[in-house]
Every structure is written in structure tokens, then in C-alpha cells.
Amino acid sequence: MPELPEISYYKKYVDSTALHNKIRSVHVPVPKLLQTSEKDAEEHLIGTEFTKAIRHGKYLFLESKNGNYLVFHFGMTGKFDFSHEDDPPKYTAFYLMFEDGAKLFFICPRKLGKIYLTESKDDFLKEHSIGKDALDFSKDEFKHLLYKKRGSIKGALTNQSLIAGIGNMYADEMLFQTGIHPKTSPSDLSEDEVNQLYDKMIEVLETVSDRKASGESLPDNYLTGHREPGADCPKSNGKIEMMKISGRSTYFCPACQKEK
């Protein structure tokens, strides 16, 4: 599922392809993703152009010259493809054609993505209860937020209304890199552990974003490539285990991440 690093990648992708090109037409092969009417989308988009792409959490806002935003949530499988092809790629749910014939396709095989129009980014974030972006937190803000939370640290990290952008996979990675068991209650973490978790949160998100952009694989000591029960831990002699936490499949190494 696309998380902050993947959306950062698509922000750069849109920046380098789809900005400053007048929109000629709007096409909606899978209407259920569009959270407004097709007519409304046409009225707001045709004739304008995107000036900027802004990522917040797992959302990508395409700001248009007329002051509106076309907003994408990628669901489990959403992705962009910009091309001059006439035929939409398989599973295209929505696309825009530009004045020069180029197209921005939004491809979504599992149809769990969502596309919105909004006049205000701030109102949109409020309406959808989206918290501050993970990369905008200061260490102190992060600490204060976590110490107020009940439940598990895994649940807190993936709660989009608290911290926007972290999903199942990179929450597991941050906890693995910090050596914290995913079931730990945030209030049981020492100040030192919270500081380290903050540093690892930033490090993991930035490392994965950079590696996606450059096409490099993730560092060898990352858990992400070993998400399988019984797999060898990339850091110790332990074996990776899976447990459900808040209904999500959570991978960890019991040797590296001791339960408190």
C-alpha cells in the first residue's frame, strides 16, 4: 500500500510531467473513485492547468491555476502513468488529457483509491481528520503526542489523524530499526526510546523516499524485504514473526524487539 515515500515519489513524478499543461478533457472509466460528479470535475478542471503538487500524509494535492485542488488517495494499489498513448493502460480509473495530447492516467486495479475536488487544502484535511504530516513533526511535538496515547505504539504510528503518512509497512520498519516491540504502550517508552523512534521515523521515511527516486533497493538491514513469518532477521539470529495488532499484520523480530 502506498505510504508517504511512495506518494513523495508520485509528487516528483507529477512535478516532472503534468504541470503547466492546459487540461483539455476529463475521463472517468471507473466512476466510483471520483468523490464528486463527473460534470463538476469537468467544470473545475477543463481549461485550467496544475501549478503545483503538494503531498500531505498519503494524499497528493494537485493545485490548479483557478485555485482548486484535485486530490488523490492511492488506496492499496493506485499509481500514475503519464504518457502520449491513446489507449488507457489496464485498470485506468481516471485520466486527464492535456492540450498537447499527453495524458495523466490514474491506474487503480483494486479500485480502493479516491479522487476529490476541494477549494481548500486545510478544510479538506480537517474534514478527513488528517493529522500533521509525519515529516513536519518536531521531536517535542512527537513526544507530547505519543505520551498522550493509549493502545500500542504500532496503532499510534499508523493513526492518520495523529501522524499522517505512515502505514503498516514503514511503521513496522521504524519499530524494527529502533528495537521497540510493536505492542508496547507509548507511555511505557523511555524518553530515550521516543527520541530514537523519532529519528528512525524521519530516517526511514527519507531513506525509502530517496531510494524510490533513485531506483536503488532498500538497505540490507531493513525489515521491509523480509516480511514473512520465519524469515531470517536481517540484524540478528532471530526469526521474523507476524502478529495482528489493531487488525493489521505486523512483522517484527522478537530477538531485536523485546516485549516490555
Q: Give yes or no for residue 253 binding Zn ion (CB under 5 A).
A: yes
Contact between 255 and Zn ion by CB under 5 A: the answer reads: yes
Closer to Zn ion by Cβ: residue 19 or 231: 231
- Looking at beta carbons only, is 230 or 247 nearer to Zn ion? 230
3-state secondary structure of 72: strand
**Measured from the CB atom, is 148 or 258 closer to Zn ion?**
258
Q: Of the listed pieces 60-68, 131-139, 205-213, 227-235, which binds Zn ion according to CB under 5 A?
A: 227-235
* Residue with Cβ nearer Zn ion (33 or 233): 233
Answer for which of 233, 250, 251, 252 binds Zn ion (CB under 5 A) is: 233
Distance CA 153, CA 57 (A): 18
Handedness of CA 130, 132, 134, 136 (dihedral sign): positive
| Closest separation in Å from C-beta 83 to Zn ion | 43
Q: Which of 236, 249, 258, 259 binds Zn ion (CB under 5 A)?
A: 236
Within a 13 Å sphere around the CA of 178, how many CA atoms are in the beta-carbon half? 28
136 Cβ contact partners less than 8 Å away, ≥ 6 residues apart: none
Smallest separation, CB 214 to Zn ion (Å): 27
Smallest gap from residue 208 Cβ to Zn ion (A): 20
CA distances from 221 to 131, 158, 174, 232, 234 (A): 30, 22, 12, 11, 5
Query: Which of these ranges, 28-36, 71-79, 113-121, 248-256, lies near Zn ion under the rule CB under 5 A?
Result: 248-256
Q: Does 180 bind Zn ion (CB under 5 A)?
A: no
10, 77 contact by CB (below 8 A): no
Decide if 43 contacts 82 (C-beta within 8 A): no
What is the size of the binding site for Zn ion (CB under 5 A)? Answer: 7
CA 215, CA 11: separation in Å to the nearest integer? 16
Interface with Zn ion (CB under 5 A): 233, 235-236, 238, 253, 255-256
